[in-house]
Each structure stands twice: as C-alpha cells, then as structure tokens.
A and B are shown apart, each in its own frame.
Chain A
Amino acid sequence: MDTVFGVEFDGGVILASDQTNARSILTYQTNLDKITELSSHSAMGISGPNADLVNFSEYISKNLALYELSNDGLKLSPHAQANFCRGELATALRKGPYQVNIMLGGYDTVKGEASLYWMDYLAALAKVNYGAQGYASSFCLSIMDRDWKEGLTCDEAVGIVEKCIKELQVRFLIAQPNFIIKVVDKDGVRTLKFGADPADN
C-alpha cells in the first residue's frame, strides 16, 4: 500500500513517499518517514513491511558508514551504493528475502551528477529518470511520462511530484493524507516538506 516515488532533475533528485504505517485494518502511525538517508549525499525511499524497511535501511546505511570509516573518508558513489544494495537483496533472496521495494536517489560529488535507481524485492535494478513503486506507479507514471524532460529545475521536479501526490489523493482508493518530500543534491539530503512531522511522538 506504500507509495514511494522519485523524480530526477538537473543537479539532484526528489524523493517522495507517503507517511502511513498500517497493517490489515489498523493504522499504527501517520507520520512515518520512509525515506532514510544512506550517506551524506544519498537517500532511499522504501516500501514494504516496517520490519524489513527498518532492518534493511539500517543494514545498508551502517555498512556504508563502515566503508567511509575504513577507507579514510572515501565515499561510495550512488552507482556503487545502488549496486551494493542490489547485491544484498540478491544474496538474501534465496535465503530469507527482504520484502522491500526501493527508490534510491543520490548525488555523485566526484562526477557532479545526480542519479535515481528503481530496485525491487527480487533484486532487479534499473537507473531511471523517474519512477514509482507499488500501486502509485499506476497513477503517477503517466504524469511523469508526460511532464518529465531533460534539464528540469528543482522547483519543476517538485511540481511534478506534487501533481502526482494530488492525483493519488483524488484517485487512489487507499487514503494517504500525509506525504514527505526530500531532495538530494550537491548540498546533501534535506526534507522539503512533510504532511506530519516524523519527530512527533
């Protein structure tokens, strides 16, 4: 039921996800942040059971932190991070799979370019300009297909994201009142807006 999607622009990536944490007929919380920061210049929007979401994201982000500590501050590029992630999903697949679908967005500080990756629980990986996981794809991809172009600005990309959110809120059966939007660019990862503050307890 989770909505996770992303749009790449010139110099960065926008990641967006809904904030509902629910199972069966029960809503646990409506202010969950499903976009975890992996490193200083990358983040991952994850959909799936909360257990796998947290387990997988922490496993990856701590391994990336270990890499930086072990190698004198050297950073892994978003391409390397995405392939590392995919490798972990692939290894676990035939043992005890992580049931997570991911949109990974990052900014390569060495090359000076942004990249967005679509990854699913079967360890498929694709580099994309925009993408969505789950039911959201049925509603959002057509909007992105029409509106995305090369050389978008951050504001234009946010505009596309907000169009997608409006579409979901009108047409998607499952009500998702709150969305969180983050941007990844040369200045790192930061939250642009949220429906409900994830920090509220």
Chain B
Amino acid sequence: MARRYDSSTTTFSPEGRLHQVEYAIEAINNAGTCVGILAKDGVVMASEKKVTSSLLAPAKSSEKTYKLCQHAACNVAGLTADANILIDQARLRAGRYAYQYCEAIPVEQLVEHVCNYKQAYTQYGGLRPFGVAFLFAGYDTHYGFQLYQSDPSGNYSGWKATVIGANNQAGKSFLKNEYGAKKEDEDEKMKGEEEEKSAEEAPEASMPDVQEALRLAVKVLNKTMDATASSPDKMELFCMTLDDDGECSHKILSADEAQKVIDEIEAETAPSGDS
C-alpha cells in the first residue's frame, strides 16, 4: 500500500487520495448508528445508544443529540471529544449570525461553516482530521425542514434519508427500498400498482410524516443493530417539528413514547406472520 503517504494529512497519495481523511471516515464505522429521515412536517434522527459499561453513571444529557440553536440540532457518530469542538463551532456560528443579522441562520450556511472548519484540517497545519460524522437537522423559512450529512473530509450533502455509523450501508440500502414506498397493502398486485403511481407522483407525495418517519427510523436501527429485540434503552429517538407558534421544537422521546413506536412496528409486522 502507499504507506509513506499515510501519515501526513496534507499530502496526496500518488493515486490522488488523502489517506488520513479516509482513515478518519473508517473510524466512524465503529460508532453507534445514527439514522436521519426527512418528513413532511419535521425531521427525525434516531441513534443507537451504546452502553460500554454498566458501571457508567446514568447520562444526564444525550451523547448523541445536540442542540445547535433554536432551529437546528445534530446527531454525532464518531469521537465524542472531537465532536464537542465542532459543536461549539456550530453554536458560535449560529449565535454570531443572529448577532449580526438578528435572524436565524439558514441551515445550509451553518452546515457549510462547520464543514469548512473541518476541511482546514485536511489541508493546513499538519493536524489530524476530526473523527466525526454529523447528521444535521434544521428548519428555516427558505427551504423548510432539511437534513444534512457531513464527514471528516468537510464534504456535506442534503438527504431525504440517510445513515451514518456502524452498518450504515445496510441501513442505507434498507432505506432505498422503504423510504417513500406505499405500505399496508397485503395484496402484492395492488402494491405493484401503487409503487408505480408513487414513482410518477411528485416526490412530496411519498414523503412520510413524522410518525411514519419515526417508525421507519426504528426499523432501520433494528436492521443495523446486532440486538434481536429492540427496546427504548437501546435507542434514542429525536424529532424536530414546528409548534403552533411556528417555532422549532426539539424533542427526545421518552421511554414510553419510544416504546409506543416500537409497539406500532410490532403490530405492523405481526399479522403478516413470517416475512
């Protein structure tokens, strides 16, 4: 392998790759899975809660979900210590924008700022990249609800649904089939017709609502996690919606509410027997 081009972040390999950046991306594949799903009326982010030791004190706050400002939040996959630095950067940027313009920062600008910060560590200074991937969920008046994913290279893109962390490939291929597909039809033929229709319809028509998105997110987590049974203490469900005043509301579901979502999924799959 091109070992001699590995150690410096600021050197291209002869094949035109930045190995340190690629290794940073690899580091995230060991982290707890995070699923993000864009819904008509909000954004859902579900993450796997990895309990490394029973001796750990019960968490007072989430180690996955962080509020960046009134209208944006993020989910973290990777080195938490690295993530903390970037989250501070994001919060500062959102605050400074509001200070300058007395307005909420458009979500993409916030994401781009964090990503530009990450990119600097792939080009200058000789410091290693951040071993963190983010899912950003936000709302602004320009583009409504948005979901973005970013990685250590400083690249970002907007998604309707995506997965980061462990087993993200399995999660993503599951979402490719399930996101936006019409469900609840026992008749296979009807399902075929419906799917054709939904392909012709505008993308908005097959976008789920927050409740459907929550169920879909839990299904993805069930697929990516090793565990056979899903339970609220293994996952954290976050959703962002607008309240009656048009303000963003950030909510991490309680154990009971999460259990309800899990029960709804069980009820869906039970009647069809073995799938």
Q: Determine whether the beta carbon of B101 is less than 8 Å from that of A76.
A: yes
Q: In the bound complex, what is the Cα–Cα distance between A80 and B103 (angstroms)?
A: 6
B142 at interface by CB-CB < 8 Å: yes
Interface size on B, residues (CB 8 A): 10
Question: In the complex, what residue of chain B is closest to A80 when comparing beta carbons?
Answer: B101
B102 at interface by CB-CB < 8 Å: yes
A25 at interface by CB-CB < 8 Å: no
User: Which A residues are closer than 8 A to B by beta carbons?
Assistant: 71, 74, 76-77, 79-80, 83-84, 87, 110
CB of A175 to closest CB in B, whole Å: 40
Q: Determine whether the beta carbon of A79 is less than 8 Å from that of B100.
A: no
| Interface pairs (14), CB distance under 8 Å | A71-B108, A71-B109, A74-B142, A76-B101, A77-B103, A79-B102, A80-B103, A83-B101, A83-B102, A83-B103, A84-B100, A87-B99, A87-B100, A110-B142
Q: Determine whether the beta carbon of A84 is less than 8 Å from that of B101.
A: yes
Question: In the complex, what residue of chain B is closest to A82 when comparing beta carbons?
Answer: B102
B106 at interface by CB-CB < 8 Å: yes
| B109 / chain A contacts, CB cutoff of 8 Å | 71
B141 at interface by CB-CB < 8 Å: yes
Q: In the bound complex, what is the Cα–Cα distance between A83 and B100 (angstroms)?
A: 7
Q: In the bound complex, what is the Cα–Cα distance between A57 and B101 (angstroms)?
A: 17
Task: List residues 89-136 of chain B with CB under 8 A from any CB of chain A.
Answer: 99-103, 106, 108-109
| B106 / chain A contacts, CB cutoff of 8 Å | 71, 74
Q: In the bound complex, what is the Cα–Cα distance between A189 and B101 (angstroms)?
A: 22
Question: In the complex, what residue of chain A is closest to B99 when comparing beta carbons?
Answer: A87
| A110 / chain B contacts, CB cutoff of 8 Å | 141-142
Q: In the bound complex, what is the Cα–Cα distance between A83 and B101 (angstroms)?
A: 5
| B99 / chain A contacts, CB cutoff of 8 Å | 87
| B108 / chain A contacts, CB cutoff of 8 Å | 71
